[in-house]
Structure 1
Amino acid sequence: MTPPHRTRLTFHGPLSETRADALVQRLTRHHPTTVLDIGCGPGELMLRVLATTPEATGTGIDLDADDLARGRKAAEDRGLASRARFVEESATGTTRGPADLVLCVGSSQALGGRLPDALKELRRLVTDHGRVLLGEGFWQRTPTPDELSRMWPDAAVTDHPDLATLIGTAIDAGFRPEWTETASLDEWEAFESGYLADTEVWLAEHPRHPLAEETRQRVDRHRARWLTYRGVLGLAYLTLVPTA
């Protein structure tokens, strides 16, 4: 028996149902016919876009075979299998664009090591009258050296910009920000709690399992990190319009 993982999450990120519904409505106003999801995971947001726009087809790209399998099953269960493709491959230099709508939520690293490079790639991958949804981390305030030492390995101030710099970088890459919104603390807490919840319950019920000690250390380490960046690290959802 292995600990369950992520069964309580709808989205792999701090995104509420209310915000997801609003995003889908905004992103489908220009009636996209092609959707490209970079680092799609199980592709929940892409599938919701396809359900709202019956004329659209979508392609999700990711390297996680398990997530892709979940996406394919979800597409089949919702009658979307003929319009949704899930492809296991790198997004670096992808030739699967341009698309009318490009989703890149928490996945800009798949397009390059630096945010400006990733944004230039997103401009290449979207049609001239399309939209990009960029979900990107930013510092809500500058973290202290002590906080950085308790986040992810080798965390640095340069890992993320502030929100103004993030938006400025998008503009420099050839976009205008149609809509700017940021994940709330409630969304962050729901995501991080949901990420760990199944495993926490499993640990409580199986304290002497052979995998318990290793699992406990991993979960405690993850919780300590997110409680450190809680209120410091933000996530922006930017709806970007390509500049003609």
Structure 2
Amino acid sequence: MTDTDLPPRLTRLAFHGPISEDRAARLVDKLARSAPAGVLDIGCGWGELMLRILEAAPGATGLGVDVNADDLARGRRNAAARGLAGRARFVEGPASTTARGPADLVLCLGAGQALAEEEPYNPAAVLRALRGLVAPGGRVLLGEGFWQRPPAPGELALMWPGASADDHHDLAGLVDLAVGAGFRVERIETANDDEWEEFESGYLADEEEWLAANAGHPAAAGIRERVDRHRASWLRGYRGILGIAYLTLVPVG
């Protein structure tokens, strides 16, 4: 069995998170207006938002850090295809130990665990780490989970392994943590239902299509079990309960 026998990885997703093209365009426009010289993307995946910011801010350079080699290779290919290879670097390694910052613009979109590896997950520690990575007068764009309402025990049991009501704050509590970490909150946005559905459908689409055409493949049973488990986790667990906030943060002088 080779990799070419298996489903491709996340080809239906432009971004590794629930963010629409319209929202991405607005964020890129607003963030590029500050003319950042350097962009740091923590847990970048293939760094799509970073690349779009580099296109909108011609003087900027970008550094994306992630542990997934396949995603980083995709980012490098995309950068080369868009004439950005000389301004975008993708580095494999843990964000907690990779040399980085301070940067004028720091992106951390759904990747806070890359900065706060202790258990349980602590968004306050993520925000403190981000405060140390952004240059004076710069910006942080944080994509972070929050509870839209308190989850019931039965709902938590269907989410991710070990899910706890303490894993996230509500939106107001998350914003309070950002202020407590030394930021002012320039902008607050939250992913909507359409963005979640596009993301969750796109997240599984490659594998769902592959399973429909390869039911007898030796790897099908394991892939089917994982796909069905993820879909159930979303539909019966965190759908309508877990939100994603996009916070534009300004460090206090």
Amino acid at match of 2:127: L
> Which residue number in structure 1 is paired with residue 238 of structure 2?
229
1:70 corresponds to which of 67, 74, 94: 74
Amino acid at match of 1:213: A
Secondary structure in structure 1 of the residue aligned to 2:63: strand
> Could you list the runs of 5+ residues in structure 1 that have no partner in the other structure?
none
The alpha-carbon deviation at position 117 of structure 1 amounts to 1.5
Deviations 1:72-125 (A, max 9, x none): 111000000000000011111544100000000001111113211211111111
1:23 corresponds to which of 27, 36, 39: 27
- Give the Cα separation in 1 of the matches to 2:32 and 2:7: 38
The alpha-carbon deviation at position 199 of structure 1 amounts to 1.0
The alpha-carbon deviation at position 5 of structure 1 amounts to 2.7
Amino acid at match of 1:72: R
2:160 paired with 1:152: yes
> Which residue number in structure 1 is paired with residue 130 of structure 2?
122
Query: Percent of aligned pairs with the same residue?
Result: 63
Larger mean Cα displacement after TM superposition, 224-233 or 199-208? 199-208
Count residues with an aligned counterpart: 244
- Give the Cα separation in 2 of the matches to 1:61 and 1:181: 24
The alpha-carbon deviation at position 4 of structure 1 amounts to 2.4
1:33 corresponds to which of 24, 31, 37: 37
Secondary structure in structure 1 of the residue aligned to 2:132: helix
> Which residue number in structure 1 is paired with residue 139 of structure 2?
131
- Give the Cα separation in 1 of the matches to 2:210 and 2:99: 43
> Which residue number in structure 1 is paired with residue 179 of structure 2?
171
- Give the Cα separation in 2 of the matches to 1:97 and 1:130: 11
Secondary structure in structure 2 of the residue aligned to 1:101: strand
> Which residue number in structure 1 is paired with residue 250 of structure 2?
241
- Give the Cα separation in 1 of the matches to 2:207 and 2:86: 35
* Cα contact 1:134–1:238 (8 A) shared by 2: yes
2:113 paired with 1:104: no
> Which residue number in structure 1 is paired with residue 49 of structure 2?
45
> Which residue number in structure 2 is paired with residue 186 of structure 1?
194
The alpha-carbon deviation at position 28 of structure 1 amounts to 1.1
* Cα contact 1:43–1:60 (8 A) shared by 2: yes
> Could you list the runs of 5+ residues in structure 2 that have no partner in the other structure?
none
Amino acid at match of 1:61: V
Deviations 1:173-217 (A, max 9, x none): 000110000000100000000011121111111221211111111
2:170 paired with 1:162: yes
* Cα contact 1:35–1:102 (8 A) shared by 2: yes
> Which residue number in structure 1 is paired with residue 60 of structure 2?
56
The alpha-carbon deviation at position 70 of structure 1 amounts to 0.5
- Give the Cα separation in 1 of the matches to 2:24 and 2:225: 33
The alpha-carbon deviation at position 170 of structure 1 amounts to 0.2
The alpha-carbon deviation at position 171 of structure 1 amounts to 0.2
> Which residue number in structure 2 is paired with residue 202 of structure 1?
210
2:10 paired with 1:2: no
- Give the Cα separation in 2 of the matches to 1:7 and 1:116: 33
> Which residue number in structure 1 is paired with residue 228 of structure 2?
220
Secondary structure in structure 2 of the residue aligned to 1:177: strand
The alpha-carbon deviation at position 29 of structure 1 amounts to 1.3
Deviations 1:21-45 (A, max 9, x none): 0000111111101000000000000
> Which residue number in structure 2 is paired with residue 211 of structure 1?
219
Q: Which runs of 4+ in 1 moved over 4 A?
A: none
Root mean square deviation of aligned Cα: 0.9
TM-score, length-scaled by structure 1: 0.98
